[in-house]
């Protein structure tokens, strides 16, 4: 039974709090009751083993219960974070969703609908033959089109059978991202408390930390920078926080340094995971270091031509709509350019984000780190733009701390960069923005029309 180990732990800890949602505390016995109701819902709606089911919601009690019930029923689950945007409907087609369940965030009520016919994709056939649950996660689609990664869910759950310590943790990362699901299963498998959010803005996060004495905050570097810029942390008691983990994108050294100055008593740890592989165990060289040791049981790492490659027991079966990214000997080509220092890695960024200027390579992160150290710069986003002569040029979108004449700022920026980077790395096109440019997942937006 796929989640029997979880259900057994829930029963042993029935009177402990499992979920805090809308100021209500759900005990593990309550979660078990909701799980049983979800199982009955599956039966009454004739959801059969092996069917492809979309589950749209957030970390509400019934969403979690339905997720567990669908895993136990050995369904192939396609999670979506509510609400599903119009642009995301293409993902339903890619995943060949057969039936859908939607959970309302405000009421925790759920509804059911039939969406499509039986899917016969080869990966789904494999899962059905194995009689194991499946999980479909989508890449962010920065290359222009989202790719659907198909997992054997039982392999992703395997690591949670080993019990570990669970801190009071906010489920900050989203329901349709493995980072968010990884946090959920780590918490549940150790009978901790799932802190479900309705609002992921800095002010709300700080209020939540103070109110519920949160110990661990998993975030993206972009959100951490947004938290610093907002200064919301000044209005709340965050002394309960023991650890801030960061991942999903490269961390600017300036942001990490500033965060450590603001929160000297909090430990910082870099994490590394991929939709295609799961989350690796990690250990930062130090709180203020971007060097990180990666691996753990079930993972093998190597670097080929500067690109990190990983072989994982928990690796996906493959993409629904793209060629295999695995080497012949089973390593996943991450696309992440890295430097190596003994057992430690430094993630420089995606090779796909490199800006090719007349044959010279520019890492956006490298330029951003310098721009962020400039007076009056709040945020900097560096990206490439096509150019007839050079192939590409370096562009920057800047958010200022206080108003400044754009022409004067551009002149000052170019002068500031002159002795700090090679000339081809200096931004040619500079625009001033009113606020930082982030995606709805609090990640830096580098793709512009």
Q: What pLDDT is stored for residue 439 in this prediction?
A: 65
Which pair of tokens denotes residue 182? Answer: 């990884």
Residue 273 has pLDDT above 60, yes or no: yes
Q: What pLDDT is stored for residue 431 in this prediction?
A: 92
Could you say which DSSP state residue 425 is in?
G
Which pair of tokens denotes residue 256? Answer: 């990490």
Residue 140 has pLDDT above 90, yes or no: no
Which pair of tokens denotes residue 250? Answer: 């490269």
Tell me the C-alpha distance between 198 and 387, whole Å.
43
Tell me the C-alpha distance between 270 and 291, whole Å.
8
Nearest partner of 278 among 117, 419, 159, judged by Cα: 159
Q: What is the mean pLDDT of residues 339-365?
A: 87
Question: 148-162: per-residue pLDDT in tens?
Answer: 999 999 999 999 999
Residue 145 has pLDDT above 90, yes or no: no
| Confidence band, pLDDT 50/70/90 cuts, at residue 449 | very low
Please state whether 282 falls in left (phi above 0), alpha (psi between -120 and 50) or beta.
beta
Distances (CA, A) of 285 to 254, 267, 290, 341, 344: 17, 12, 8, 11, 8
Report which of residues 28 and 440 the model is more confident about. Answer: 28
Torsion of CA 371, 374, 380, 383, to 10 degrees: -20
Question: 393-405: per-residue pLDDT in tens?
Answer: 999 999 898 999 9
| Contact yes or no for 9/184 (Cβ under 8 A) | no
Residue 446 has pLDDT above 70, yes or no: no
Tell me the C-alpha distance between 123 and 135, whole Å.
11
Q: What pLDDT is stored for residue 23 in this prediction?
A: 87
| Contact yes or no for 178/225 (Cβ under 8 A) | no
Q: Which residues pair with 279 in a beta bridge?
A: 273
Q: What is the mean pLDDT of residues 201-213?
A: 94
| Confidence band, pLDDT 50/70/90 cuts, at residue 327 | very high
Tell me the C-alpha distance between 2 and 271, whole Å.
26
Tell me the C-alpha distance between 125 and 406, whole Å.
58
Question: 91-109: per-residue pLDDT in tens?
Answer: 999 999 999 999 998 899 9
Burial class from Cβ neighbours inside 10 Å (0-12, 13-18, 19+) for residue 115 reads middle
Distances (CA, A) of 265 to 233, 240, 268, 325: 14, 10, 10, 41
Q: What pLDDT is stored for residue 437 in this prediction?
A: 66
Q: What is the mean pLDDT of residues 2-22?
A: 95
CB atoms within 10 A of CB 83: 13
Share of residues in the chain with pLDDT > 70 (%): 94
Residue 141 has pLDDT above 70, yes or no: no
| Mean of pLDDT over the chain | 91
Residue 222 has pLDDT above 70, yes or no: yes
Q: Domains of the chain, with CATH numbers?
A: 4-157 (3.40.50.12780), 354-433 (3.30.300.30)
Which pair of tokens denotes residue 317? Answer: 């079966």
Which pair of tokens denotes residue 200? Answer: 């992921």
Q: What is the mean pLDDT of residues 252-276?
A: 92
| Confidence band, pLDDT 50/70/90 cuts, at residue 345 | very high
| Confidence band, pLDDT 50/70/90 cuts, at residue 388 | confident
Share of residues in the chain with pLDDT > 90 (%): 67
Which pair of tokens denotes residue 255? Answer: 């942001």
Q: What is the mean pLDDT of residues 254-277?
A: 92
Q: What is the mean pLDDT of residues 193-213?
A: 92
Question: 39-71: per-residue pLDDT in tens?
Answer: 999 999 999 999 999 999 999 999 999 999 999
Nearest partner of 124 among 74, 53, 76, judged by Cα: 76
Q: What pLDDT is stored for residue 442 in this prediction?
A: 66
């Amino acid at each position: 039974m796929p989640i029997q180990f979880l259900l057994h732990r829930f029963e042993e800890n029935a009177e402990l709090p499992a979920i805090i949602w809308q100021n209500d505390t759900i005990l593990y016995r309550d979660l078990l009751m909701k799980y049983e109701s979800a199982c009955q819902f599956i039966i009454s709606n004739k959801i059969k083993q092996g069917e492809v089911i979309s589950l749209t919601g957030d970390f509400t009690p019934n969403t979690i219960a339905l997720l567990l019930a669908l895993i136990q029923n050995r369904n192939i689950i396609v999670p979506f974070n509510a609400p599903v945007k119009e642009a995301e409907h293409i993902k339903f087609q890619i995943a060949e969703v057969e039936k859908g369940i939607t959970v309302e965030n405000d009421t925790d009520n759920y509804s059911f609908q039939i969406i499509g016919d039986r899917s016969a994709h080869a990966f789904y056939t494999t899962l059905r033959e194995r009689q194991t649950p499946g999980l479909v996660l989508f890449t962010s689609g920065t290359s222009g089109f989202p790719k659907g990664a198909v997992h054997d869910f039982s392999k992703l759950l395997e690591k949670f059978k080993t019990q570990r310590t669970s801190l009071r943790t906010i489920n900050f990362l989203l329901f349709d991202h493995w980072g968010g699901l990884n946090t959920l299963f780590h918490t549940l498998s150790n009978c901790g408390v799932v802190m479900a959010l309705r609002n992921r803005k800095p002010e709300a996060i700080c209020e939540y930390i103070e109110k519920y004495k949160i110990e661990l905050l998993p975030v993206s570097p972009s959100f951490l920078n947004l938290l610093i810029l907002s200064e919301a942390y000044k209005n709340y008691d965050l002394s309960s926080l023991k650890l801030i983990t960061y991942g999903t994108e490269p961390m600017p050294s300036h942001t990490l340094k500033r965060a450590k100055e603001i929160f000297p008593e909090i430990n910082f740890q870099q994490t590394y995971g991929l939709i295609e592989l799961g989350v690796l165990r990690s250990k930062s060289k130090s709180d203020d270091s971007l060097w990180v040791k990666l691996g753990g049981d079930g993972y093998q790492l190597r670097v080929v031509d500067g690109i990190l490659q990983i072989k994982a027991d928990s690796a996906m079966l493959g993409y629904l709509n793209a060629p295999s990214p695995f080497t012949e000997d089973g390593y996943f080509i991450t696309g992440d350019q890295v430097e190596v220092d003994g057992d430690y890695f430094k993630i420089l960024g995606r090779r796909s984000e490199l800006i090719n200027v007349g044959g010279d390579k520019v890492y956006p992160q490298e330029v951003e780190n310098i721009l962020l150290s400039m007076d009056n710069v709040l945020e900097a986003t560096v990206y490439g733009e096509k150019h007839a002569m050079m192939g590409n040029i370096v562009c920057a979108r800047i958010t200022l701390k206080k108003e400044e004449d754009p022409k004067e700022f551009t002149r000052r920026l170019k002068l500031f960069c002159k002795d700090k980077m090679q000339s081809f790395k200096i931004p040619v096109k500079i625009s001033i923005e009113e606020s930082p440019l982030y995606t709805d997942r609090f990640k830096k937006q580098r793709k512009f029309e």
